[in-house]
Amino acid sequence: MRVRVLARLFQIQRVLLKYGLDDFVRATHLYRPVRLLVLLSPGIGRTRRRRLNRAERLRLALTELGPIFVKFGQAVSTRRDLLPPDIADELVKLQDRVPPFPGEIARATIERAHGRPVQELFKEFDEAPLAAASIAQVHAARLPDGKEVVVKVLRPDMRAVIERDLEVLYALARLAEKYWPEGRRLRPIEVVAEYEKTVLDELDLMREAANAAQLRRNFAGSDLLYVPEIYWDYCRANVMVMERIRGIQISDMARLREAGTDIAKLAQNGVRIFFTQVFQHNFFHADMHPGNIFVLVDDPANPRYAAVDFGIVGTLDPRDQRYLADNFLAVFDRDYRRVATLHVESGWVPPQTRVDEMESAVRTVCEPIFDRPLKDISFGHILLRLFEISRRFNMVIQPQLVLLQKTLLNIEGLGRELYPELDVWNTASPILREWMRERMSGRTLLQSLRAQLPELVEAARALAPLAKGAAYRMQNGNLRLKLDLSEIETLQRSLRESSRRRESTAVGAAILFGGLVWLGMGRAADWPGWAMLAIGAAWVLFARLG
């Protein structure tokens, strides 16, 4: 393990001790000698333990450890049902109340990016940040034409900080894969690789601006979701400028109720937005914690979501998208055998998996929660049962789906807080069924063919000269084909097997036909054993061929 990784691990341990998080220290045996040295140092951790409760100490420790740890805190803060109330209340502050960096640094960053003074770029610019998160912070401003905007600015030296912690994650993943029995199945290295792509993409604000523009296009004219406008002339790799949203933060339930918001409709619309993004658009906002979601209540009876922070978005491979949709619909229909079969077909479980056993396991998880509102579902219990199933059937983690699973956790937690009476099943099922009908329609098929027509034409054009050249060489006796010997042997075996099957089929059919004729002629009374023997022999032959 590299020196830099070891140094970072010890630094993590020092921060945990500094904030008196002794339970975490005791759980990591590697650091016990360091723990002793730190505890012997006067004053470390003890004064903080007297002044702060455990939730505050945890939040401060995650904040000091850096963006990757803050993001972990943000993710778990959306699941209040899985956390003690004091810790849930404190971790919520990580969503948009991370300590900011100085406003003059933000100003200097903007001026370097544009090569012009801030006063030339904006009519007004507020150096005091509106909100601060793990990777960037936002400032209020006005464009020269008076439009209200927010200016998002990256924190200084973020790439170096994140790359250092990614090294640590890779080192731990390699150890897990090598020494942990579950390591190969859970594929920790590939999971970290997926996370690396996601978190490094967040450091390019031009990419985030493009994500926002795409999402805005997808929901143009929609009464479900509003996406702010991007002002491209002011955007750079480390600075992004977009329309300012004035809505109510979705976690502020008191203000939403005071405004007369239809909370039930708002919760149902959240489910519709998720399924529309994942299946209809195949482009989904994957960082939907409450700090990034606002509600526009110009018409309280028809509230509309407004999203910000588009650094993390997800897409799915069409094959994964289809399997997910089929799985959802199978669950909605309580067709648990179909769920098990789909897991085998997709390669998510080994091919030798007993479908009937997996069907029973899935039924055990789903039946107790079916048709129940969120408030009556113990998500912690479901997670434990799902972990048991994945271990029992040697289910392999799909790294490409981790982002979607994280988004599902956020959405489910958000719905639980917003409207616990929400029936996810009845809300989601019509949306998904409509998407499946549309996907299988003749119009969609024609559109797909029309989209692929240029590629088919190009392939045909390329094929014509190749066929012409091959025919010319064949006429002159110069055509040569390269075949791998192993492929020839495989082909020969296949032909022999095919020939054997045809011969056996013919014999079996003749025997079966003879036996049936014998029975049909009424000879079975005289020779019943021979007739049944002929039919039985034919049956055995066919069984072997199957």
* Catalytic residue set: 287
Measured CA to CA in angstroms, residue 383 lies from 166, 188, 356, 435 at distances of 27, 19, 22, 28
Buried b (16+ CB within 10 A) or exposed e, 272-283: bbbbbbbbeeeb
Is the CB of residue 134 less than 8 Å from the CB of residue 140?
A: no
Residue 71, amino acid: K
Count of C-beta atoms within a 10 Å radius of residue 174: 15
Is the CB of residue 341 less than 8 Å from the CB of residue 355?
A: yes
Q: What angle do CA 17, 21, 23 make, to 5 degrees?
A: 115
User: What is the rounded distance in angstroms from the CA atom of residue 426 to the CA atom of residue 65?
Assistant: 42
**Coil, strand or helix at 268:** helix
Within 180-248, residue ranges assigned H as helices are 183-186, 188-201, 205-218
* Residue in the structure block whose two tokens are 């019509």: 430
Residue among 244, 298, 217, 273 at smallest CA distance from 418: 273
Write the CB contacts of 534 (distance below 8 Å, at least 6 apart in sequence). 511, 512, 514, 515, 518
DSSP state, 98?
S
Buried b (16+ CB within 10 A) or exposed e, 503-540: eeeeebeebbeebeebbeeeeeeeeeeebeebbeebee
Strand order across the beta sheet in which 248-249 lies: 225-226, 304-307, 293-296, 248-249
User: What is the rounded distance in angstroms from the CA atom of residue 366 to the CA atom of residue 387?
Assistant: 14
